[in-house]
Amino acid sequence: MLVAPSILSADFGKLQKEIEAICDAGCDLVHIDVMDGHFVPNLTIGPVVVGAAAKAATKPLDIHLMVENNTFFTELFAPLKPKYLSFHIEEEKHPHRLIQKIKSYGISPAIVLNPHTSPKSIEYILEDIDMALLMSVNPGFGGQSFIPSTLKKIEILRKMIDGAGLKTLIEVDGGVTDKNIHLLKNAGADIVVAGNYIFSSPSYKKAIDSLRA
Ligand code: DX5
Ligand code: ZN
């Protein structure tokens, strides 16, 4: 299981130190939540702060766009060269076109599904993306409770991916803790995002290790 701490729960007063700490603690990716105040009822950070985060990080960035204008934000964040750039399927009229655009920057494209969105909605573009991100909370805030119906969706998506012989990774985001990690693993998740659980822990390393085990 790969672990991607979400810096949404970090102390932004010492962001550089926080990012260095999670990287030193052995995380696999640094998850960055970009919110525009329109697609979700919260507003976070732009390319200036994400650029500073990219400088501090010794692990690849995993940028999660929660925005209305995906193409605009893709162009804004592409120069920061994240490993993954993910956009919400609910907010994109031309996902296939956007996937090609993300790939043209040498970035791995990923698609995010809100809790109500069926895995079927990405059936015909699954082969074009490197990762599918299943939201296990409503996007917008850290520290919310895990929505149990996500488990069924992970299982369905796992079958779709394996059945088609694809290598698309499944990432799960929201309410992940050491209490539900075994359920996520059994259902077929490859990567977990965790914000509150890791950053409220006295030892980032112990928290990350507990999710990997
Ligand atoms: C929610 C974000 C998540 C969030 C996860 O919109 O996409 O990445 O930070 O936070 P926790 O792990 O606290 O639920
Ligand atoms: Zn996220």
Report pLDDT digits (tens) over 100-143: 999 999 999 999 999 999 999 999 999 999 999 999 999 999 99
Q: Say what the pLDDT of residue 72 is.
A: 98
Q: Tell which atom from ligand 1 comes closest to the C-alpha of 146.
A: 14
Are 64 and 86 spatial neighbours (Cβ–Cβ below 8 Å)? yes
Q: Whose CA is nearest to atom 10 of ligand 1?
A: 142
Mean pLDDT of 13-37: 98
Catalytic residue among 62, 130, 173, 190: 173
Decide: 153 in ligand 1 pocket, CB within 6 A: no
Does the pLDDT of residue 76 top 90, yes or no? yes
Give the span between the Cα atoms of 198 and 190, in whole angstroms. Answer: 18
CA of 6 to the centre of ligand 2 (A): 6
The mean of the pLDDT values for the chain is: 98
Q: Could you tell me the pLDDT band of residue 213, with boundaries at 50, 70 and 90?
A: confident
Catalytic residue among 33, 36, 130, 190: 33
Q: Could you tell me the pLDDT band of residue 145, with boundaries at 50, 70 and 90?
A: very high
Query: pTM score > 0.75 for this model?
Result: yes
**Ligand 1 pocket mutation pick from 179, 193, 198, 201 by most atoms within 8 angstroms of CB:** 193
Does the pLDDT of residue 96 top 90, yes or no? yes
CATH superfamily of 2-212: Aldolase class I (3.20.20.70)
- 173 included as an active-site residue: yes
Are 56 and 16 spatial neighbours (Cβ–Cβ below 8 Å)? yes
Are 131 and 171 spatial neighbours (Cβ–Cβ below 8 Å)? yes
**Of residues 173, 163, 93, 94, the one with CA closest to residue 131:** 173
Q: Which ligand is nearest to the CA of 9?
A: 1
The proportion of the chain whose per-residue pLDDT surpasses 90, expressed as a percent, equals 100
Residues 6+ apart with CB under 8 A from 93: none
Could you report the per-residue pLDDT of 150-204, keeping only the tens digit for each?
999 999 999 999 999 999 999 999 999 999 999 999 999 999 999 999 999 999 9
Decide: 193 in ligand 1 pocket, CB within 6 A: yes
Mean pLDDT of 4-31: 98
Instruction: Give the helix, strand, coil percentages of the chain, each rounded to 5.
Output: 45, 20, 35
Does the pLDDT of residue 84 top 90, yes or no? yes
